[in-house]
């Protein structure tokens, strides 16, 4: 799936364009940046409701080429500027995180499958 297809599927708005010439196969959905860093693999799509610059930082660290902001939360200019600088494409989705993810899943994107269960003391 390429950037244009992602935008079409979620009826998204492209906020930051970047040359993403990778076929995206997997996505990750979280508002907790440590969770993203824990599980994400390179070239995944990242969906989040967290609109501060740290979401872009995390995408950069996790090597996620496309960042989708869900539930219509428009990120700050500062966040977009950082994405521009780091060459990460940013898409805004008016759907909730669940629905954004659902639409992309329906179109063929997959997650990471089952993960080991982590128990808290």
For other proteins, the closer of residues 114 and 118 by Cβ is 118
CB of 11 to other proteins, least distance (A): 25
CB of 93 to other proteins, least distance (A): 18
> Which stretches of the chain bind other proteins, using CB under 8 A?
31-35, 37-38, 42, 48, 50, 52-55, 57-58, 60-63, 78, 86, 118-121
Contact, 97 vs 71, CB < 8 A? yes
CB of 47 to other proteins, least distance (A): 13
Structure tokens at 36: 């993203």
For other proteins, the closer of residues 32 and 107 by Cβ is 32
Measured distance CA(107)–CA(6) in Å, rounded: 9
For other proteins, the closer of residues 38 and 112 by Cβ is 38
């Amino acid at each position: 799936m390429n950037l244009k297809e992602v935008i079409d599927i979620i009826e998204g708005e492209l906020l930051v364009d970047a040359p993403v010439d990778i076929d995206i196969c997997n996505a990750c959905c979280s508002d907790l940046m440590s969770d993203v860093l824990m599980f994400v693999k390179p070239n995944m799509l990242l969906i989040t409701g967290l609109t501060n610059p740290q979401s872009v930082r995390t995408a950069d660290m996790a090597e996620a080429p496309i960042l989708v902001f869900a539930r219509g939360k428009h990120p700050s200019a500062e966040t977009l500027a950082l994405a521009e600088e780091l060459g990460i494409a940013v898409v805004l989705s008016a759907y909730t995180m669940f629905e954004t993810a659902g639409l992309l899943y329906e179109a063929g994107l997959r997650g990471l499958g089952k993960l080991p269960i982590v128990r808290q003391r």
